[in-house]
Structure 1
Amino acid sequence: MSRMQVLDRLVLPVIGAAIVLGIWQGTIAYYGLARIVLPTPLEVANTLWKLLGNSGFWHDIQISLKEFFLGCLIGCLLGIAVGVLVGVRQDARMVLGPVIEAMRFIVPFAWIPLTVLWFGTSLTGKVVLVAYAVVFIMIVTTARAIATVEPTLMRIGVMLGMRPWEIALKIHLRAAAPAIASGAKAAAAVGWIAVVAAEYIGASAGLGVMITNASMSLDTSTVIAGMIVIGIIGAVVSWLIGVIAGAWLNH
């Protein structure tokens, strides 16, 4: 990587952030907005700094991440398994296809009242909701990727005496890996949104709960600081999934 490319990667994001902060501060000055409506960037930065020294804040992050990773792992594994089955077997596609097509259009947020009713504010409800948000993205992505696998590869597998499950794992899944990795990043984004949204309604801890409590107290600085943390964590999670997927593809 050249020096110019390094500078671009460092300088351009800083310029983008500066533009956002300038618009933010300019809007407050132009309209004379009160702190309770929109605090200044400096006030939000001070609030965020105080939160970093608060053990309760880190506990909320830990709870949200635990709910997310458990749900995302379950959803990804189940989605890939069902996606392989649907992509490989026509009978499974005929049986499960209509159900999958119907259910994947029911947004995860529509299930929040039921998960609260069934599981209360426990960890299980949020994990189920995240898994639901992730699983259909992975099913559809995996099935479509497998449908595009070169038929010659399957014939070679049969000629080599591979069993059906070996063909599915060593040929179909391997060939579909790039698309599955891309789908996992999209699924993780939806899963992270789902867990935070679920915490707004039914939870006893987590970033969503922190923001809800702050909004009820009219603590706008904490609300915005929490939103910034949610965005940063989401970006980091997406980056980590990309790194893991890259390592898997290069393995």
Structure 2
Amino acid sequence: MTVKIDENELLEAKEKSVKVGAELKKVRGFALGFIIPVVLLVVWEAAVRFNLLDAYVFPAPTTILQKIIELAKEGTLWGHVGITFFRVLIGFLAGTVAAVVLGSVVGYFKWFEQLMDPLIQAFRSIPSLAWVPLFILWMGIGEASKVMLIAVGVFFPIYLNIVSGIQGVDRKLIEVGKIYHFTPLQTVRRIIFPASLPSFLVGLRSGVGLGWMFVVAAELMGASQGLGYLLVLGQNTYSPELIIASIILFAIIGKTTDYLLKSLEARALKWQDNLQNQL
């Protein structure tokens, strides 16, 4: 007796097994990322419980969690998180648009790089806090100065990665485009953009990370809401649990945004035959 095997069924079974394997890898990677934070939290909690750490200086994780829950019940937590996220989002978008426009022109035209890049690199060397008094003088202590400071922080890593990505395109690919008589627009769309996309996406991740760092400096400029404001409030009221709670919230939200951009990067670069896509 012979058993006929449907090729379509075999292909479907193979595709299912591949999908299940990919999902298991994602779950494993997600679980591995939690091992060290959980171990650190357990050690931290034990150290406070056994009086190895001063509870006033280093409150236990459970105390910090209670503080976060308390802020949530009061209804103030979401307002602080929301306004901080809004500032980072607007600053990130503004900095990204400026970096894409300027970085694309600088990367594509050599003469424009020679004209503009020295000035931009000089501005990049200026510490973030040095901009604070100038932005306050120009725009006051309102939202405009805060968003502008975040945009400045976001701009530089994205700009550098775009310029590096465009200038790093293999000249042989450009020659292939000339052989096929690509127009300049076709060359940009079909060769330069895909080849520089990995650098651009890395720049976005670096930019959003700096955006969360710069928002702290921005919210020191007379803010009455935001996670940066909670840091200052915790300092003024001698509440280390509030300070550490704000820091942890920054870490959680920052990691979440980075994870979203990393997922976007993985989807956008599926076509690449590299080590990451083989894992």
- TM-score of the alignment, normalized to the shorter chain, above 0.5: yes
Name which one, 1 or 2, has greater alpha-carbon Rg.
2
Q: Which of 188, 212, 219 is the matching residue for 1:192?
A: 212
Q: How does 1:5-44 map to 2 (within 5 A)?
A: 8-9=28-29, 12-28=32-48, 29-31=50-52, 33-35=54-56, 37-44=57-64
1:68 lines up with 2:88 in the alignment: yes
**Could you say if the C-alpha distance between residues 15 and 162 of structure 1 is closer, same or farther in structure 2, counting changes exceeding 3 Å?**
closer
Report the 3-state secondary structure (helix = DSSP H, G, I; strand = E; otherwise coil) of the residue aligned with 1:98.
Answer: helix
Name segments (4+ residues, structure 1) moved above 6 Å.
none
Pick from 146, 152, 169: which aligns with 1:126? 146
Unpaired segments of 5 or more residues in structure 2? 1-20, 272-279
- Percent of paired sites with the same residue: 26
8 Å Cα contact 1:116/1:202 also seen in 2: no
Per mean C-alpha deviation after superposition, the further-off stretch among 2-11 and 75-84 is 2-11
After TM superposition, the structure 1 = structure 2 runs for residues 182-221 of structure 1, keeping only pairs within 5 Å, are 182-221=202-241
Q: Give 1:33's aligned amino acid.
A: D
Aligned-pair distance for 1:26? 4.6
2:220 is paired with a residue whose SS is helix
Displacement of 1:45: 1.4
Closer/same/farther in 2, CA of residues 174 and 2 from structure 1, 3 Å limit: closer
TM-score, normalised on structure 2? 0.80
Cα distance, 1:78 vs structure 2: 1.6
Q: How many residues align?
A: 250
Q: 1:250 to 1:200 in 2, by over 3 A?
A: same
Q: Check conservation: 2:159, 2:203, Cα contact below 8 A.
A: no
Amino acid paired to 2:227? L
Establish whether residue 85 from structure 1 lines up as the match of residue 93 from structure 2: no
- What is the letter of the counterpart of residue 181 of structure 1? L
Give the alignment of 1:41-190 within 5 angstroms.
41-190=61-210
Structure 2 Cα separation of the partners of residues 7 and 158 of structure 1 = 45
Unaligned runs of 5+ in 1: none
Letter of the 2:153 partner, please give it: A
1:154 deviation in Å?
A: 2.5
Higher RCO (C-alpha 8 Å, min separation 6): 1
